[in-house]
Amino acid sequence: MLKVGLALGGGGARGIAHIGVIKQLHRAGMRFHCIAGTSAGAIIGAIYTHYQDPAVIEGKLLAMIGSREFRSIKLDYIRGRRAEKGSFLESVRRHFFTGMFYASSLTRLSFVKEQTYRRLIDMLIDDVLIESLPMKFSAIAVDILRGRVVSIDRGSLREAIMASSAIPGVLPAVQKDGMMLVDGSLIDTVPVRYARQLGADLVIAVDVASQLDVIDRPTRGLDLIWRANGILRHIVKEEQLTSADIIIRPALNDLEWTDFSKYRELIDLGVREAELQMDRLSDLMKSKEQGGLYAADRH
């Protein structure tokens, strides 16, 4: 039987679109041999791997987003890219919390306290061992000390997704076996090769990261830094995606990675894009099962 794997990419709030993609694939009767996830993709993938029900993912995630703990960390103020929009008071508040974030980075390693982060993860997933899950799973993180990618496919599921989604400076790094683990999106935004390593014959990659658009001429050094980092990550991601059999890329446009308020829209966009890819995916699976060449079908 054909072993289908999912490679779920990182993207912060944009990762909520993974729920819609999984919902549509699940509705179509597709079941997976394995899931590899980075950051938001690791969180969504872990919940699905454990509970095998897209409705559970949606329910748990929405409960967390609506919790007092989540609202208290004010992630939507960190980037402050939309500070010019809305009322004057809203603009002031955004600048204030953005300033708090940058100030905190000078005195401590993360903006969000570890205790708060753990409580949020506890809302999403039971504390089970990865090796006890009904399908193979891997969460991708980066060891910031040695500068290498780490695939976590054994041990605590909670700890694995905490490490994979630990945005540097925002969420606390995870200390494990002499490593200091942070968000896997730094190097491996969509972990296609790790889905292959888990045994997948056919890999469906879901890319929810922001795309690289033409921008206005930067006027600040900080803008140049963000842009240079974005270019590097985009080039690396596109190279990694060349080894996927099919790429599902929801049309998320300019939705912010910190904006969790549009969760319904994000889920719907994931469903819509997966629906558009179903015929092509079905043909690809038939070709693969029959031993046909499929490399030409890749994006």
Percent of the chain topping pLDDT 70? 86
* pLDDT (0 to 100) of residue 40: 96
Lowest mean pLDDT among 79-83, 132-136, 222-226, 234-238: 79-83
Helix (H, G, I), strand (E, B) or coil at 263: helix
Give the pLDDT mean for 236-242. 92
Assess contact for 81 and 230: CB atoms under 8 A: no
For residue 107, name the pLDDT band (cuts at 50, 70, 90).
Answer: low
Across the chain, what does the average pLDDT equal?
86
Q: Is 250 left (phi over 0), alpha (psi -120 to 50) or beta?
A: beta
What is the pTM assigned to this prediction?
Answer: 0.85
Tell which wins on pLDDT, 107 or 253.
Answer: 253
Q: How many helices (H) and strands (E) does the chain have?
A: 10, 8
52-64 in b/e form (b: 16+ CB < 10 A) is: eebeebbebbbeb
Percent of the chain topping pLDDT 90? 65
Q: Is 155 left (phi over 0), alpha (psi -120 to 50) or beta?
A: left
Tell which wins on pLDDT, 110 or 207.
Answer: 207
* pLDDT (0 to 100) of residue 159: 97
- pLDDT of 93 > 50? The answer is no
Please give the Cα distance from 67 to 50 (Å, whole number): 22
Tell which wins on pLDDT, 55 or 257.
Answer: 55
Give the pLDDT mean for 255-263. 87
* pLDDT (0 to 100) of residue 225: 83
- pLDDT of 62 > 70? The answer is yes
Please give the Cα distance from 139 to 40 (Å, whole number): 10
For residue 84, name the pLDDT band (cuts at 50, 70, 90).
Answer: very low
- pLDDT of 175 > 60? The answer is yes
* pLDDT (0 to 100) of residue 82: 42
**Nearest alpha-carbon partner for 121 in 69, 71, 86, 185:** 69
Please give the Cα distance from 138 to 38 (Å, whole number): 9
- pLDDT of 262 > 80? The answer is yes
* pLDDT (0 to 100) of residue 88: 42
Helix (H, G, I), strand (E, B) or coil at 137: strand
